[in-house]
Amino acid sequence: MSLWGGRFSEPSAAEFKQFNDSLRFDYKLAPYDLQASLAWAQALMLAGLLTADEHQQLQQALEELRAAVLEQPELPLQTNEEDIHSWVESQLIEKIGATAKKLHTGRSRNDLVATDLRLFCKAVCGELITANLAAIKNLLAFAERYQAAALPGYTHLQRAQPIMAGHWALAYVQMLQRDVSRLKEAMKRMDVCPLGSGALAGTTAPLDRQALAEALGFRHACENSLDGVSDRDFALDLLHSASTGMMHLSRIAEDVIFYCSGESGCFAMSDRISSGSSLMPQKKNPDLFELLRGKTGRVFGHQHALQTTLKGLPLAYNKDMQEDKEGLFDALQTYLQCLQMLAFAVPELSVNEAHARQQATMGYSNATELADYLVSKGIPFRDAHHITGEAVVYAQQQGKPLEELTLPEFTQFSAKIGDDVYPVLELDYGVQQRSALGGTAPSSVRTAIKHASDWWHAAQAASKHVRQARLSDVDKICDLIAYWAEQGENLPRSKEDVLQGIQSFAVAEIDDEVVGCAALYVYTTGLAEIRSLGLFPSAQGKGMGAELVAFLLGKARDLGISRTIVLTRVPEFFGKLNFRLTVKEKLPEKVIKDCDICPRKDNCDETALEYLL
């Protein structure tokens, strides 16, 4: 059925219909169109535009359709409708008759499709964050396994300096961390609901658009109807995030392809992620990583295509915007699949440690150590650099590495070179010297792994059940605190205290219901404490207490806090989260703040633990 037939006296030509219709790809929006329609029906009833009975009929029919689509996602393709909105309406009319025709009251396909697409993008954005975190987890495991395995590092694809394989993996952890951050920022910006903007000028229906937005899981309703129906910045944001993420995957793929090559041989791939040649029996090809690299251009192209489509459009909606979907759907599915394949492939990689170490010593990669040695003897670095360059040229002519030159050979370049130069030229010495923050020394790599693991746990918590508390959570937080105060586990807090400190709280949710909370209290000395941690009994045993702690530790890190404490009667719980015992008497801030009002101050049975960030 057509949603616009009354104005026309002839049916659409078959050729035009084939060119114009979008159901073949926008059927993927069916779950979100049904979700938006359920919320719209509720809003129409509250506005007095539907009776309770009509609303009940629509709700039941929409829920039946939602279940059918969930079971069979391609169900809409069995019809010849123009688009997903036409399909939903025709199915409703078939189910409940004339009542279904009231659902479109006060709305347009323009604001509906913009809403559907935002809901879709929010859902996929969450999947992409989860997939990035899975890849990061496996890269961290690789870094942990090979934190002290030497590897040749390159600039300009020439051997430069030795690095640790763990340090190499952590570079990509950093990139994927930024990708997660970028996706979260994109999700924040897309969290605006255009439903109720009508075709372009707004709806005449007397409904509460902010309540409608919240019913759909959006933070806000858009404040301009023209922008609401024509904005696709959120899709561009997501395509940019996908393009940048794919660029990072392409770079790691290129590195792996090189390190697995016969020319390097530092990495090995398992047979599970390799393929062979139909002609050359000896070949073991890195096809998985080549595909990661190759699919990057495809995602780049979709971003550029949508930017080009949008660049000359006048306000408000134009049919050009139908072209926003196919490329977006393909780009996001490609990015998601590539992330999943990277997470799958990393555990199948190994470092050929002995060979990689030997490779790391080649190419005069210890030349910088010789220059630094000369600086330690009082020679200005620029002169030391020149002397070292001359020594390298001489060693190359002799066919020797620097460390095999004799002392008389060295002293022809500088009389300040002594026997103590030889330990400096050893691989381990040079690597160990790079122990500053961000360096490749194994000690620095271990620290970086800890920081990245802490970040991962916080990000994992935020991607599941935990979020920053809002003012609307205050009553639930008070209920939780009161419950555990009655059990004698937490100190009571007034509602005023919770309101004033709401920015310090995080909450855990199940099915959008707050079931747990915790707060990060920062003392004037810079010490932080996790307190008021509690879950309703029905939510216990699901790992959400650990998620709350991880989330707040991440918040402490973002604030630049170096030490976080907790006083608890369940020290074993925090011990599993890598807190370590400390002495209560070393916590004067806590004593001053809370201990004097604690009913157990004269018979304290709490254990103090700390976490160093």
Give me the active site residues, please. Answer: 156, 277
| In contact, 114 and 199? CB cutoff 8 Å | no
Distance from C-alpha of 384 to C-alpha of 369, rounded to nearest angstrom: 10
- Cβ atoms within 10 A of the Cβ of 332, count? 23
**Non-local CB neighbours of 17 within 8 Å, separated by 6+ positions:** 82
Runs of H (alpha helix) within 468-543: 474-486, 495-500
Q: Mutual orientation of helices 233-260 and 287-310 as an angle, nearest 10°?
A: 160
The sign of the torsion formed by the CA atoms of 190, 196, 199, 203 equals negative
* Unique residue bearing structure tokens 């080549």: 290
DSSP label at residue 82 = S
| In contact, 495 and 481? CB cutoff 8 Å | no
Distance from C-alpha of 355 to C-alpha of 365, rounded to nearest angstrom: 16
Which two structure tokens, joined as six digits, stand for 59? 């709700």
Give the Å distances, CA to CA, from 404 to 18, 399, 409, 531. Answer: 75, 10, 10, 61
Which two structure tokens, joined as six digits, stand for 171? 């570079």
* Unique residue bearing structure tokens 């992330």: 339
The 3-state DSSP class for residue 516 equals strand
10 Å CB burial of residue 223 (0-12, 13-18, 19+) is exposed
Distance from C-alpha of 270 to C-alpha of 268, rounded to nearest angstrom: 7
Phi, psi of 503 (to 5 degrees): -70, -15
Q: What is the DSSP string of 215-266?
A: HTT-SEE-S-HHHHHH--HHHHHHHHHHHHHHHHHHHHHHHHHHHHSTTT--
10 Å CB burial of residue 240 (0-12, 13-18, 19+) is middle
State yes or no: cis peptide before 506, omega within 30 of 0: no
Cα torsion 264, 265, 270, 272 to 10°: value is 40
The 3-state DSSP class for residue 467 equals strand
Distance from C-alpha of 523 to C-alpha of 561, rounded to nearest angstrom: 10
DSSP label at residue 12 = P
Give the Å distances, CA to CA, from 178 to 183, 243, 452, 456. Answer: 9, 13, 12, 12
**What is the C-alpha R_g of the chain?**
31
C-alpha triplet 290, 292, 298: angle, nearest 5°? 110
Q: Please report, as a single letter, which amino acid is at residue 144.
A: E
| In contact, 510 and 429? CB cutoff 8 Å | no
